[in-house]
Structure 1
Amino acid sequence: MTARLITIPFSHYCEKARWALEIAGIAYDEDGHLPVFHYAATMRAGAKRTVPALIHDGKVIPDSTPIIAYADAQRPGTLLPSDPAKRQEALDIEDAFDRHLGPATRRWLYFQVIDRKDLDHVLLHGIPRWEALALRATRPAAIAYIKRSLKVDAAGAERSRTKIDEAFQNVGAMLGDGRRYLVGDQFSVADLTFAALAAPVLLPVQYGAPLPQLDAFSAQARERIETWRRSPPGQFALRIYADHR
């Protein structure tokens, strides 16, 4: 039975779930929505208010981390190492990226683009037409809500930049011994999570939904993105996308 994945298409946490399902060979139909508009879909499905939410074979699996565990259970060893110690290490790394890197890259990108109507195609990709029409009518209120709830402002963006730099430094230290993957000698949830959650500031072409083009950013933001892309962790994430997405 084809799964249903409820998403905000441009969300990097939803990208994390999409990628995991595809790696595990689980066929799915994506049910995309705008932020806030997704509440109705997830609540009707019996999930929480957050996305992604997966509905498959009568089960409802909310959030990207349980979805990855579910995907790996269908094809064991695809994303989670079989060795218990390495498995726990990979899960700990995933959790750290989920809690620190993901919110930081989201807030930093939102600050750069949220007021840009010319980038609405990024928001509107893969959503119902009525939601696109509703956004046009409610845009100021919707944008204000996102800014308020996610603390999207100059100070928040600067704090996020610092957190992104810290995450990249940590990954750089891990890669310093020449390893090709963060845990063990094969691709795992640790690599997928870093690449997916770093994607908003690296703009990989393989991303599963449209992202802004580099030339859409201000000169200062472009310089920052290019610095992240050139760094060893940035190059690592882009290679993970090229090799595994």
Structure 2
Amino acid sequence: MAATLYSIPPSHPALAAKLMLRRVGLEHRVIELPPGLHAAVVRARGFERGTVPALVIDGRRVQGSRAISRHLDELFPGVLFPTEPGQRARVAEAEEWGEREFQPVPRRIFRWILARDPEARAELARESKLPFAGLQARTTAPIARKFATAVGASEEQVRRDIATLPEQLERVDACIADGTIGGEEPNAADFQIATTVHALMRFPQLRPLIEGRPAADLARRVVGEPREVPVRVPDEWVDGART
């Protein structure tokens, strides 16, 4: 079975797909695309949308972390989802929330920062192993603004994302407490949610909101230790989330 996953380095949904592929034991190759140019490349590979993760398995194209988990479940039943119907329904519900509501939060925050901060764009270029990071930072502002607009990363929305982050984390902790996620063997919802928590912990200002919670332990166990990135949002936005 031949499998190829298209990704970009900062994408936490693509990271979720990588972890799911490892979990089911499917041999695959990963092609890391340059951020900003990835959309055109993915479409050129025959996908409907210019987004990652984008997976090709034996000629079939599957796009999006939740669609990938469903396809892998068809190929490897009982690995990413429990076989007991009630447990499966709870995992599926948590995964769906994780993709629809929780996954976009760090994406919007990071793209809002990228549209405004050249140092953040330089850091993204370095993480993506692109040459001439300083030049990339100076010349990619229009692209960064376009990608921020595409996901609704307005100032108002990002402020709301940060203000409501404690509520989102409470839901993650509740899913851990009731056994939906955080079990001995990670399921599809673990990968969906833990990678988002891990992405949020990379923001130095947001990490204190997460540390000490079961969600932080989940992110470390499923993904690993988050490496902080030198990016910032206004301090008062974070202060509002602490009150």
User: Which TM-score tier does this pair reach, normalised by the shorter chain?
Assistant: 0.7 to 0.9
Distance 1:108 1:136, change over 3 A: closer
Q: Is the 8 A contact 1:45 1:55 kept in 2?
A: no
What are the within-5 Å matches in structure 2 for residues 165-244 of structure 1? 165-176=166-177, 179=179, 182=181, 186-203=185-202, 217=204, 221=205, 224-242=206-224
What are the within-5 Å matches in structure 2 for residues 60-139 of structure 1? 60-112=61-113, 115-119=116-120, 120-123=122-125, 125-126=127-128, 135=136, 138-139=139-140
Distance 1:59 1:175, change over 3 A: closer
Distance 1:172 1:128, change over 3 A: closer
The Cα shift of 1:114 comes to: 5.0
Higher alpha-carbon deviation: 159-168 or 92-101: 159-168
Distance 1:189 1:122, change over 3 A: same
What residue number does 1:210 align with? none
Q: Is the 8 A contact 2:34 2:128 kept in 1?
A: no
Give the TM-score normalised by the residue count of structure 2. 0.77
- Aligned letter for 1:151? G
Distance 1:127 1:58, change over 3 A: farther
Q: Which runs of 5+ in 1 are unaligned?
A: 204-213
Does the residue aligned with 1:30 lie in a helix, a strand or coil?
A: strand
Distance 1:185 1:232, change over 3 A: closer
> Are 2:161 and 1:160 equivalent residues in the alignment?
yes
Q: For 1:15 and 1:51, how far apart are their aligned partners in 2? A: 10
Give the TM-score normalised by the residue count of structure 1. 0.77
Distance 1:112 1:170, change over 3 A: same
Does the residue aligned with 1:55 lie in a helix, a strand or coil?
A: strand
Instruction: Give the paired residue count.
Output: 223
List per-residue Cα deviations over 1:106-125 (Å, max 9, x = no partner): 22233445544444243454
Does the residue aligned with 1:82 lie in a helix, a strand or coil?
A: coil
Does the residue aligned with 2:167 lie in a helix, a strand or coil?
A: helix
Q: Is the 8 A contact 2:176 2:182 kept in 1?
A: no
List per-residue Cα deviations over 1:3-45 (Å, max 9, x = no partner): 2211222111111111111111222222222444222222222
Does the residue aligned with 1:230 lie in a helix, a strand or coil?
A: coil
The Cα shift of 1:2 comes to: 4.2
What residue number does 2:55 align with? 54
Task: Kindly report the root-mean-square deviation, in angstroms, between the aligned alpha carbons of the 2 structures.
Answer: 3.0
Does the residue aligned with 1:54 lie in a helix, a strand or coil?
A: strand
Q: Which runs of 5+ in 2 are unaligned?
A: 226-243
- Aligned letter for 1:226? P
> Are 2:21 and 1:21 equivalent residues in the alignment?
yes
The Cα shift of 1:154 comes to: 3.3
What residue number does 1:207 align with? none
- Aligned letter for 1:200? A
Q: Is the 8 A contact 1:101 1:164 kept in 2?
A: no
Distance 1:29 1:116, change over 3 A: farther
